[in-house]
Amino acid sequence: MHLDTLFSPQSIAVIGASTKAGSVGYTLTENLLKNGYRGKVYPVNPKTDRLFDLPCYKRVADIPEAVDLAIIIVPADIVPAVLREAGEKNIRAAIIISSGFKETGATGKALEETVLTIAQEFDITLLGPNCLGFLHPKIGLNASFAKHLPHDGSIAFFSQSGALSTALIDLSVDTLDFSHFVSIGNKTMIGENELLRYFAKDENVKTLGFYTEGLTDGNTLIKIGREILARAEAKPIIVLKSGTTTAGESASGSHTGALAGNDATYSALFKQARIVRAANLEQLTHFLTAFSHNSLPENNRLAIVTNAGGLGVLATDAAVTNGLRVATLSQETQEKLTTILPKAGSALNPIDVLGDALADRYRAAMEIVVADDQIDMLLVIVTPQTMTQAKETAEAIVSIKQHTPKPIIAVFAGKVSFQDGLAALQKNAITTVTYPEAAAEALAALAQVANWRKETSPTPFSPENPDHEKAATIIQAAKNAGRAALTEKEASEILIAYGFPFFATSLVNNKEEAASVAEKIDKKVALKIVSPDIIHKSDVGGVILNVEPKDAGEAYEKLMAQVKEHVPKARLLGALVVEMAEEGGQEIILGLKKEPGLGTVVLAGLGGIFVETFKDTALRFAPLTREDAEEMLHELKAFPLLQGTRGQHGIHLETLITMIGRLSQLAEDFPEIAELDLNPLLSFPKAENFRVLDARIRLEK
Amino acid sequence: MHLDTLFSPQSIAVIGASTKAGSVGYTLTENLLKNGYRGKVYPVNPKTDRLFDLPCYKRVADIPEAVDLAIIIVPADIVPAVLREAGEKNIRAAIIISSGFKETGATGKALEETVLTIAQEFDITLLGPNCLGFLHPKIGLNASFAKHLPHDGSIAFFSQSGALSTALIDLSVDTLDFSHFVSIGNKTMIGENELLRYFAKDENVKTLGFYTEGLTDGNTLIKIGREILARAEAKPIIVLKSGTTTAGESASGSHTGALAGNDATYSALFKQARIVRAANLEQLTHFLTAFSHNSLPENNRLAIVTNAGGLGVLATDAAVTNGLRVATLSQETQEKLTTILPKAGSALNPIDVLGDALADRYRAAMEIVVADDQIDMLLVIVTPQTMTQAKETAEAIVSIKQHTPKPIIAVFAGKVSFQDGLAALQKNAITTVTYPEAAAEALAALAQVANWRKETSPTPFSPENPDHEKAATIIQAAKNAGRAALTEKEASEILIAYGFPFFATSLVNNKEEAASVAEKIDKKVALKIVSPDIIHKSDVGGVILNVEPKDAGEAYEKLMAQVKEHVPKARLLGALVVEMAEEGGQEIILGLKKEPGLGTVVLAGLGGIFVETFKDTALRFAPLTREDAEEMLHELKAFPLLQGTRGQHGIHLETLITMIGRLSQLAEDFPEIAELDLNPLLSFPKAENFRVLDARIRLEK
């Protein structure tokens, strides 16, 4: 793809440039010209000869020189023709601003497909359609109809919603500096994955962020996210995903046609891709600021310096709730603090410099705290008291930050009194927020990414010799027969081929066979009559439970006699000898679910009430690593039950982890599996006792 | 209490007024003089004759006229003397700004008690100590050392943290207007309950708010909260409580000495008192704004009008997550919207007026929506697009709001482009927030209070004839013996006196007695040997389970024979005949826990894993209403298990509710109960099968 050409073009044709002030064609051309872009701009519009004091061309073919990028603003139905002309002119990149495609329904969707085909035919790299364009501040390029070009910086951001982009730029002009800001619209060719990959390689980019209403390739996102995380230089990725509720999904459907999935699935996806998920738009802005201004911390030990006890408490609560440690200061640090603080101050953490603290006391306290090895990051709170020196305190923070790699966020909890102080902080790339809780959340996000960076390389699962061929044969047979739902027998055979344990079961026809089969099973068995004439076996004495292997022959005879007595005319075809379950098994539910476009999710949870009422399940996309599987189990609220609690045995965790690995392998080997349920898998302290009770598999239609 | 004199004094003595610029004594005097307060101000300071061009008095006794309020700013150890002088001068109200009391330890605590005694002796109403003072904008009175006097308005706010107060005033000068702003410091005499009661009666007050780090009388708060809710005119109460984590509690302890309790207990308390709890400081400011600008809605049906699809989705998600309904518009409304919207717009809810919407289109859409009976409130989102008319759109919102009682919150998601628009909204008391999620949360809080206001009057529990005297006798006996922990027998007798069902159990000495007791129980029984020489009864054949009443005589003989065979020398004192539990009971845990100062909490949950691992419990303060008890059970995540699920029987809920009522009565009758556990109570579909298996009671020391 020609993404360099798209984002750093030497020349641009604006197809649909307009003289009508306020129109998109006008605004976009004006934006290209007024922000210092040094490439050439060629307005194209059959109705006029000049525009913005530039020659205007009737058609793109008329432009006398080569063109890198076409920006297309014509009505949707003319877009294919215009794009073809661009292709014929050897233009390698295009933005389709126009709407009227996939988002409007079936006709629009067909039109969008036509456009994509043309782009592929002419090797055009396509942004949009139904987008706002992009901004590339470093080269003064505002190829969008957003009003303002942000300051040049190190955040690459892209958004499925154009309006959200303009809001974000407008809101953050003092606090966020962007390398690129891209509206991706309908994502026909360029989606999230393409841009993450591209911007991760750009040395001007330090932080990546995006807003999405739905993704289409989860597995690739996981791969890209982990690759970016593993780079020598950290480039954290932040996402805001909307459509977390059914109503929200449907609202998003109504305006972009995004295929929104289950929200828990997305949380699992982002976690697995090591992408930080912001809870809301405000948090997104805080996270982007905090990541772009700060290096990652060594660890999660926080110090709080405050001139307001109450806000120190709020910060402490939020820090702990979000997984930070409000660290114990070293004895030495406490002693040093005591020398510079008034008697009523607190040399414990949060460090209370008191309401009358001038900038010097703040500076001294911060210097001492930042030098402490037990501290990884600093949250400074300043409230407007009578004597507070906002500007000077801000300057102290700036100078501390210049001499430490530790993250610092400043809470300036005031407005009227803090204009100068805030300006000083913002000018010097210090992250400031108004409320202490927001600061703690942002620092916790930094610590989360730092923690991810410490992970050792993942351990892939490698199930022992799955009988792939057998499973493939069964699946193919079902497909050939046009069946999506596999039979119980087919499902269990596939699972047995992948090493899942089912109860041993054999049809026997006489006493001797019964005895020999039962002795082979070597555990208590049940005997069940087999007869085409009997439906309710138990009612006619057709089931005998808890038979010791040595008694199986005798039990067979008893079974036959009982049934004959009850239903003399029934045809008896023998009996099933079925292994009995060990007692006290813990029901586990494992499953696969294909999320169309995203990938296949592996689900784990405890059976019964835990899944149904408490919704206590964990999700990960296949393929999983061993670490993923372990994380899943630890995520379950009921994990203590698996681990063993209250003097009760847990289950053999290693076996469960192995089974999750086998499921992941199945999902990878057979992407046509739409749904698979092991419900339940009976699990035990001993590996050899695990058994699947019931299994279901459904294929994609 | 002389709260009118405190908050609206005719004359004020400033004891400790100072000439030193920047000192508290200076700032406070200056604040009294420069904000238009029309009462008299008398500086008191032995070291000078004039201050701020006013005569300065050596002692308060020297002031020639009567004084209403003394503001005391002298060092802590001089405060008692000064306060006594104020008392002798017949001053009826005092603010002690000085710190150095309870918050500093035992000596300070003793000093604070001395101060309180003096205040009581002279009938002085006391604010503080260790506080910032208060502000009463309506009379131009800034009796604090906060820099700015907020605009006069209808919010009465009080705070345990002084610095949080100054931050809040500074932050919200454009958005929040206060009738009173009070810093309550150590709350020696005036705490939250006193101020809620006082301000609820003030006709200038429409909204109440407070920040606390810990309360001391939960039961009274519940009473006051419910009384205020029930008033003809709604006066919603908003609280921010910090110290939600152990670290936060300890941080709060370090600076005000507040006795912080368990956070879930506080959530229960506020819910029961019908007080809205803000999740953080930012949400507090939003809630205060939203409640002070809006009437309560009829119901929870929300309409969203937006020029940005993405932000509409975010608002929808947040609305649904917080319990609002994104309402279906009536057919008529949809048709009307269609006539005013462009084809690409959405006449569904959220209503997308599109990025190019001018103020007129916003106005038309809002007018149509607000007129719809299916809509109770409106969330308008404006993002800065090229053509957006921020100011005119703001004016349209103002005029819509003037003609409807329905709550409206405006999300103006921009900064650079929205200065004029925001000013127009703020000037006209329209609640504005920057992010859509925050707007949805605030509207949900309005709907919550509206819903509370609809509640019918609560039904008090009245347990049938509890044997109060019997319980009192047992408790008194334990007290007399100096025992805090009651024996199993005492605990069960108290509970039986209050109508709790235990297993029937009798000591019998022969076959005939065994038979007759068992027949009276009329259910399966267990027989257990009674012998001082036998510890492990089961090991020596000393327990026989599941005996039918008719077989009890025989079983008695068998029991005796078995035991004699195993331990011939043991002294046998007979056997216990114990009623067997029905099978399949659901374990319930009920309990009481006294939270010192707050009141006694009733706890309910399901036994075992549900309480221990899932922490699935519900709390309410005694005394409970029937509705409280029902709410508790519905709050449990495991409630479906009680109600019946998956074809399984539930339990007899009415019986469980009655038992919660009996516990509440016990807590009310015996406030000396520190802890009580029914663990478990076995519950069943039939009321008569409920049984307490084990009970423990501990009294206060």
Residues of A in contact with B316 (CB under 8 A): 245, 247-248, 251
Closest CA of chain A from B239, distance in Å: 13
B639-647, Cβ contacts within 8 angstroms, sequence gap of 24 or more:
B640/A612, B640/A613, B641/A609, B641/A613, B641/B586, B641/B606, B642/B586, B642/B606, B642/B683, B645/A609, B645/A612, B645/A613, B646/A612
Judged on CB neighbours under 10 Å (0-12, 13-18, 19+), B365 is buried
Residue A365, H or E segment: helix A359-370
Alpha-carbon radius of gyration of chain A: 33
Closest CA of chain A from B147, distance in Å: 6
Put simply, the answer to whether A245 touches B316 (Cβ < 8 Å) is yes
- Which of A252, A287, A314 is most worth mutating to test chain B (most B CB atoms within 10 A of its CB)? A314
Of A147, A242, A383, the CB nearest to B314: A242
Residues of B in contact with A146 (CB under 8 A): 386
Of B316, B355, B415, the CB nearest to A251: B316
**A562-605 tens-digit pLDDT:** 999 999 999 999 999 999 988 888 899 999 999 877 889 999 99
Which of the four pLDDT bands, split at 50, 70 and 90, describes residue A39?
A: very high
Of A167, A344, A616, the CB nearest to B384: A167
Of B321, B326, B414, the CB nearest to A171: B414
Residues of B in contact with A104 (CB under 8 A): 344
Put simply, the answer to whether B251 touches A22 (Cβ < 8 Å) is no
SS3 string of A409-461?
A: EEEECCCHHHHHHHHHHHHCCCEEECCHHHHHHHHHHHHHHHHHHCCCCCCEC
**pTM, full prediction:** 0.90
**B73-99 tens-digit pLDDT:** 999 999 999 999 999 999 999 999 999
Put simply, the answer to whether B309 touches A256 (Cβ < 8 Å) is yes
Q: What does the pLDDT average to over B540-567?
A: 93
The phi and psi torsions of B373 (rounded to 5 degrees) equal -65, -20
**A238-265 tens-digit pLDDT:** 999 988 787 777 777 644 434 434 788 8
3-state secondary structure of A72: strand
Output the CA angle A283-A171-A436, nearest 5 degrees: 40
Of B245, B316, B384, the CB nearest to A320: B245
Of A145, A310, A386, the CB nearest to B160: A310
Of B160, B173, B251, the CB nearest to A415: B173
Put simply, the answer to whether A436 touches B321 (Cβ < 8 Å) is no
pLDDT (0 to 100) of residue A256: 40
d(CA B589, CA B586): 10
Put simply, the answer to whether B383 touches A159 (Cβ < 8 Å) is no
pLDDT (0 to 100) of residue B646: 61
| Neighbouring C-beta atoms of residue B294, cutoff 10 Å | 23
For chain B, what percent of residues have pLDDT higher than 90?
A: 78
pLDDT > 80? residue B552: yes
Of B171, B281, B316, the CB nearest to A414: B171
The per-residue pLDDT of chain A, averaged, comes to 92
B100 to chain A: closest CA residue: A344
pLDDT (0 to 100) of residue B418: 94
d(CA B441, CA A42): 48
Q: Are B393 and B359 in contact (CB under 8 A)?
A: yes
Put simply, the answer to whether B313 touches A251 (Cβ < 8 Å) is yes
B163 to chain A: closest CA residue: A308
Burial B195-226 (b: 16+ CB within 10 A, else e): bbbbbbebeebbbbbbbbbbbbebbbbbebbb
Put simply, the answer to whether B280 touches A314 (Cβ < 8 Å) is yes
3-state secondary structure of B218: helix
Q: What does the pLDDT average to over B319-324?
A: 96
Closest CA of chain A from B533, distance in Å: 29
- Which of B29, B313, B434 is most worth mutating to test chain A (most A CB atoms within 10 A of its CB)? B313
User: Which residue would you say has higher pLDDT here, B146 or B620?
Assistant: B620
**Which residue in B9, B187, B26 sits closest to B115, CA to CA?**
B187
A355 to chain B: closest CA residue: B163
d(CA B688, CA B503): 11
d(CA B632, CA B618): 5
pLDDT (0 to 100) of residue A647: 64
Beta carbon pairs, A and B, within 8 Å: 276
pLDDT > 50? residue B261: no
pLDDT > 60? residue A214: yes
Residues of A in contact with B167 (CB under 8 A): 308, 311, 383-384, 413-414
Output the CA angle A141-A146-A152, nearest 5 degrees: 45
Which of the four pLDDT bands, split at 50, 70 and 90, describes residue B603?
A: very high
pLDDT > 60? residue B164: yes
For chain A, what percent of residues have pLDDT higher than 90?
A: 78
**Which residue in B205, B233, B237 sits closest to B221, CA to CA?**
B237
Residue A79 makes CB contacts below 8 A (sequence gap 6+) with: A72, A96, A98, A111, A115, A129
Of A145, A437, A613, the CB nearest to B386: A145
- Which of B337, B351, B386 is most worth mutating to test chain A (most A CB atoms within 10 A of its CB)? B386
Which of the four pLDDT bands, split at 50, 70 and 90, describes residue A381?
A: very high
pLDDT (0 to 100) of residue A468: 95
Of B161, B348, B383, the CB nearest to A310: B161
Residues of B in contact with A646 (CB under 8 A): 612
Closest CA of chain B from A383, distance in Å: 5
Residues of A in contact with B259 (CB under 8 A): none
pLDDT (0 to 100) of residue A255: 42
- Which of A259, A267, A305, A313 is most worth mutating to test chain B (most B CB atoms within 10 A of its CB)? A313
d(CA A236, CA A225): 9
Residues of B in contact with A645 (CB under 8 A): 612-613
pLDDT (0 to 100) of residue B256: 40
- Find the DSSP H helices in A230-344: 246-256, 263-272, 281-293, 309-321, 331-340
Q: Are B72 and B96 in contact (CB under 8 A)?
A: yes
pLDDT (0 to 100) of residue B253: 63
Put simply, the answer to whether B320 touches A245 (Cβ < 8 Å) is yes
Q: What does the pLDDT average to over A11-15?
A: 97
Burial A116-141 (b: 16+ CB within 10 A, else e): bebbeebebbbbbbbbbbbbbbeebb
- Which of B210, B255, B301 is most worth mutating to test chain A (most A CB atoms within 10 A of its CB)? B255
B386 to chain A: closest CA residue: A147
Put simply, the answer to whether B282 touches A162 (Cβ < 8 Å) is no
Residues of A in contact with B258 (CB under 8 A): none
Residue B385 is encoded by which pair of tokens? 């697009």
Residue B213 is encoded by which pair of tokens? 């780090």
pLDDT > 70? residue A12: yes
B316 to chain A: closest CA residue: A248
Put simply, the answer to whether B317 touches A637 (Cβ < 8 Å) is no
pLDDT > 60? residue A458: yes
pLDDT (0 to 100) of residue B260: 39
d(CA B76, CA B111): 8
Closest CA of chain A from B235, distance in Å: 26
Put simply, the answer to whether B414 touches A352 (Cβ < 8 Å) is no
**Which residue in B390, B387, B430 sits closest to B410, CA to CA?**
B430
Q: What does the pLDDT average to over A542-569?
A: 93
Alpha-carbon radius of gyration of chain B: 33
**B276-316 tens-digit pLDDT:** 999 999 999 999 999 999 999 999 999 999 999 899 999 99
Residues of B in contact with A321 (CB under 8 A): 244-245
Closest CA of chain B from A104, distance in Å: 8
3-state secondary structure of B203: coil
Could you give all domains of chain A from N- to C-terminal order, each with its CATH number?
1-134 (3.40.50.720), 150-293 (3.40.50.261), 296-453 (3.40.50.261), 469-579 (3.30.1490.20), 586-699 (3.30.470.20)
For chain B, what percent of residues have pLDDT higher than 70?
A: 98
Bridge pairing between strands B152-159 and B178-183? parallel
Residues of B in contact with A385 (CB under 8 A): 145, 163, 166
Q: Are B378 and B398 in contact (CB under 8 A)?
A: no
Bridge pairing between strands A505-508 and B617-621? unpaired
Residue A534 is encoded by which pair of tokens? 């009997």
Residues of B in contact with A256 (CB under 8 A): 309
Put simply, the answer to whether B308 touches A167 (Cβ < 8 Å) is yes
pLDDT > 80? residue B612: no
> DSSP secondary-structure letter at A647?
T
pLDDT (0 to 100) of residue B357: 93
Range scoring the smallest mean pLDDT among A655-659, B257-261, B379-383? B257-261
pLDDT (0 to 100) of residue B647: 64
**Which residue in B341, B355, B351, B259 sits closest to B307, CA to CA?**
B355
Put simply, the answer to whether B167 touches A609 (Cβ < 8 Å) is no
> DSSP secondary-structure letter at A319?
H
pLDDT (0 to 100) of residue B596: 79
**B620-674 tens-digit pLDDT:** 999 999 999 999 999 998 898 898 876 678 899 999 999 999 999 999 999 999 9
The per-residue pLDDT of chain B, averaged, comes to 92
pLDDT > 50? residue A117: yes
Put simply, the answer to whether B164 touches A24 (Cβ < 8 Å) is no
| Neighbouring C-beta atoms of residue B696, cutoff 10 Å | 16
